[in-house]
Structures are given as C-alpha cells and as structure tokens.
C-alpha cells in the first residue's frame, strides 16, 4: 500500500447523520495522475470542463491506494446519463436496473454513473421486492447520498479531478489499514437490497487478502438462500469474477465456510461434505492451477472451471443411470452431461459457447483410454485436447492408479517422434486386446403404433 498520512486536515461534515466525510488533499495520499488510465482522465476532464462534478470512485481508488493496478476505472458524476451522452459522441446508455453511460474508446469502456440517491415512492425510478431487493434504481442524488449507497467502506472513496483530493465518506482509508471488509449501514438490510453483496464480500476478502468484519460476516450464512432470487445471467458474470481473478482457491474455501456454494451449485455441495474427499482435493487443485495461470497472465477459460465444478456430479449421475436405468456407460454418460448442465443452468446461466466446450472436455475424458490406431491421432488433433489433457492430469494427480498411468502415457505420446508413437501404439495393441468389431445387426421394423 502506498503511504497515506494519518492526519486529515480537510473538512469533516455530517452526511445525513450516517457518514462523515474526510478530505485528503493531494499532499496526503499517493495517487498520481500518471497511474490513472488516459481515457479515464479524458472523461473526467471533459465532465469537469463542462461544469459537472467528476470523480474516480470505488475499486480503482482502493487499488491505487493499495499500490495495485486497477482493472477498470469507473467515473461518477452529478451529470445525468442523457447529459453524459450529449458530451460524448462515443457514448451509449445501458441498463434498466441501473442506468449507466458507457464511453467507448475502441475496445476499452469507461463506465460513467450518476450519483445515486435514496429511494422514493415513484416506482418508475426506484423499486424494491418483498424481500427488500432493489429491482430498479434510477434515483439520482448527491455525492453524500451516493456514498451511503455504496456497499463497502473501502469502495466509498472518491478521487476529485478538480483538486486531486480524495473524499473518504466511510473511513475507507482506516479499513484498508486494518485490512477489513465492512459494509456501510446495516448488513442484513444491505444484503437484502442486493444478495450479490455476499459474493462481493467473499471476493474482496480473497482478492485483497483481508478479513470480513464480524458484523458484516454474521448474517451471510442465514441469508445465503437469497441468492436464489438473483437472475441466472447475472450470477454467471459473478462466478467468473470469483474464480478467475487469481484468488480462486481462497474464494472456494470462503464460499464453503459461509455456506454460499450451495445456492450456487446445489448439485455439487452434497459431494463436498468430507473435507478430505477426492472431490475437495480435485477442486482445490483446479483452483490452485487456475490461480497460477491467471497470475502468470496465461489464458484461462471459464469452461474449464465449470467443467471441474460439475465433473463429479456428472460421474455420480452417470452411475445412477447405469444402475437404476439400465443404460450402458456411453449412453449414461451422455445423458448425465445433459442432466447436470440443465440443472445447473437453472441457477447460473452458462452460455452455449461455454457449455459446448465443457461437454468436449468431459467427452475426451471418456475417449482418452481408447487408444487404438487412427483414433489416438484424432484425439490428439482435437481442438479441446490441451484443456482436456490438463483436466486429465489433475484427475490423475488426485486419484492416482490407472489414471496416473493413462496421463503419463498421453504425456509421453505427445513428446514422442512419429516412429516412437507407432511403437507405443503397437506395444499397447500387443498388451491389450483390440476392441471387437461390431457386427451389423438387421432388425425388423416395428409395426406402427395403432
């Protein structure tokens, strides 16, 4: 964390009796414009020059104070979305629940939000469900009201482009120094407004290596079931943030600790009751490997993580279909894949571009043991071979036995020269009986149903 002076010489004013504001002049914090994205600065300055207030807010301010490079730079202003759009030709307005302006610079987007206010009686602007969840939220207000509407104290800090000061409304600096994740306001009320805040608390604690404040942590287990009210499409994006941020292993353990995995993956959690089980060991190793790849700037696909999270439910469902339904292993496995994905999509919407990859990773696990002639080369040339092979390696590492022998064979086969590959296949054929050729069967057509 960059050095922040402990003396606050700026103004301290009451905010509706709830929050108090502290202003840190430029000399008392370590944020420099050199660390701020150029396009974010363009947006800030154009808003400021047009007579509007303009601030960096939330995670980017927090990360800059921690000495980290922010992933995104979010801007907040007193300009309403239509006024922002009028200032930027490269702007589009999005969202119904939250009306936002996206200012686009090629593939980069700077998100601009208007200060949020407190809810009014007008349902066309703000609306809540019977559970207290916010369904619509286009009520605009002041910066003080916006700070009260922020979720965590570490996210209620504003960098002012007008004088380069930081306005801290909820002792966010202190929370960073204490390494505490704490909600603003009553935790139960805030979780009911938006249950995803429970997942955000977990994500920040894992990502920033901080502890969740006792008062903030206490209601989570009781209110975990409220995640069932979140649209499946929104949960998909949240899961990506949880597991593909470089701290997936810590995240997995915290989700289990606070009973948040069950409302997200109800078909998985019954298999994780034993902390020493192969299922737990497998998932932890997948998360450990994923964290290493993310932190090394290597590519990671969400499909691999989902394939791992749902692998053992597929295996269990396959066994059930074989024992109770009388299906052969091939048909049972194909049916199991469909059943598990259909059930999971009811909770978390997984786009088809990922479910197709998930299926291919799983199907290759069934094909890997079948190493006969041309079939082996077809597997090797499969577009998902590398992901499926990595999946096999983790399975072998955890389960050992025949899987370990199989994984080593495929490792050797990839590294072997063409002639050596032929010798490996010949040796395999001599040691194992080739699969019997299927006899063509002719069946009489069944009479049509009457």
Closest CA to 45 of 34, 55, 35: 55
Closest CA to 153 of 332, 22, 297, 295: 22
Which candidate in 74, 146, 194, 291 is catalytic?
A: 74
Cα 251 to Cα 189, 292, 315: the distances in Å are: 24, 14, 24
Which candidate in 35, 72, 262, 390 is catalytic?
A: 72
Active site residue 72: yes
Active site residue 168: no
Which candidate in 63, 146, 151, 291 is catalytic?
A: 151
Tokens of 346: 């009811």
Q: How many CB atoms lie within 10 A of CB 175?
A: 22
Cα 63 to Cα 58, 60, 170: the distances in Å are: 9, 5, 16
- Tracing tokens 């303009």 back to the chain, one arrives at 54
Contact between residue 156 and residue 147 where contact means Cβ atoms under 8 Å apart: yes
Contact between residue 213 and residue 190 where contact means Cβ atoms under 8 Å apart: no
Contact between residue 41 and residue 34 where contact means Cβ atoms under 8 Å apart: no
Known catalytic residues?
A: 72, 74, 151
């Amino acid at each position: 964390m960059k050095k922040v002076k402990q003396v606050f010489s700026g103004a301290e004013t009451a905010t509706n009796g709830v929050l108090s504001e502290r202003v840190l002049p430029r000399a008392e914090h370590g944020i420099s414009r050199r660390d701020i994205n150029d396009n974010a600065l363009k947006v800030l300055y154009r808003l400021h020059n047009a007579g509007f207030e303009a601030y960096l807010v939330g995670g980017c301010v927090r990360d800059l104070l921690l000495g980290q490079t922010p992933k995104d730079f979010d801007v907040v202003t007193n300009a309403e979305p239509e006024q922002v759009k009028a200032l930027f030709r490269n702007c589009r307005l999005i969202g119904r629940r939250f009306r936002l302006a996206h200012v686009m610079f090629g593939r980069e987007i700077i998100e601009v939000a208007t200060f949020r206010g407190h809810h009014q009686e007008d349902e066309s602007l703000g609306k809540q469900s019977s559970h207290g969840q916010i369904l619509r939220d286009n009520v605009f207000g002041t910066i003080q009201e916006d700070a009260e509407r922020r979720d965590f104290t570490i996210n209620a800090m504003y960098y002012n482009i007008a004088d380069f000061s930081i306005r801290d409304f909820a002792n966010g600096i202190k929370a960073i120094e204490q390494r505490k994740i704490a909600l603003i306001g009553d935790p139960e009320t805030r979780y009911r407004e938006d249950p995803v805040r429970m997942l955000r608390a977990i994500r920040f604690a894992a990502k920033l290596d901080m502890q969740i404040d006792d008062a903030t942590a206490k209601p989570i287990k009781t209110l975990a079931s409220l995640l069932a009210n979140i649209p499946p499409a929104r949960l998909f994006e949240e899961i990506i943030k949880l597991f593909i941020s470089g701290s997936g292993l810590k995240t997995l353990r915290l989700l289990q600790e606070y009973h948040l995995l069950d409302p997200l993956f109800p078909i998985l959690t019954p298999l994780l009751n034993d902390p020493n089980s192969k299922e737990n060991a497998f998932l932890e190793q997948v998360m450990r490997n994923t964290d290493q790849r993310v932190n090394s700037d290597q590519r990671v696909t969400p499909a691999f993580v989902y394939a791992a999270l749902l692998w053992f439910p597929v295996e269990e469902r396959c066994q059930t279909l074989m024992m109770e339904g009388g299906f052969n292993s091939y048909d049972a496995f194909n049916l199991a894949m469909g059943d598990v994905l259909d059930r999971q999509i009811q909770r978390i919407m997984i786009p088809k571009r990922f479910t197709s990859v998930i299926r291919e990773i799983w199907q290759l696990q069934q094909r890997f043991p079948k190493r006969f002639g041309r079939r082996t080369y077809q597997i090797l040339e499969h577009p998902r071979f590398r992901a499926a092979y990595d999946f096999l390696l983790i399975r072998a590492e955890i389960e050992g036995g025949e899987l370990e022998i199989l994984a080593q064979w495929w490792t050797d086969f990839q590294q072997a020269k063409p002639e050596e590959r032929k010798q490996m296949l010949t040796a395999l054929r001599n040691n194992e009986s080739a699969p019997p050729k299927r006899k063509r069967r002719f069946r009489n057509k069944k009479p049509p149903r009457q």
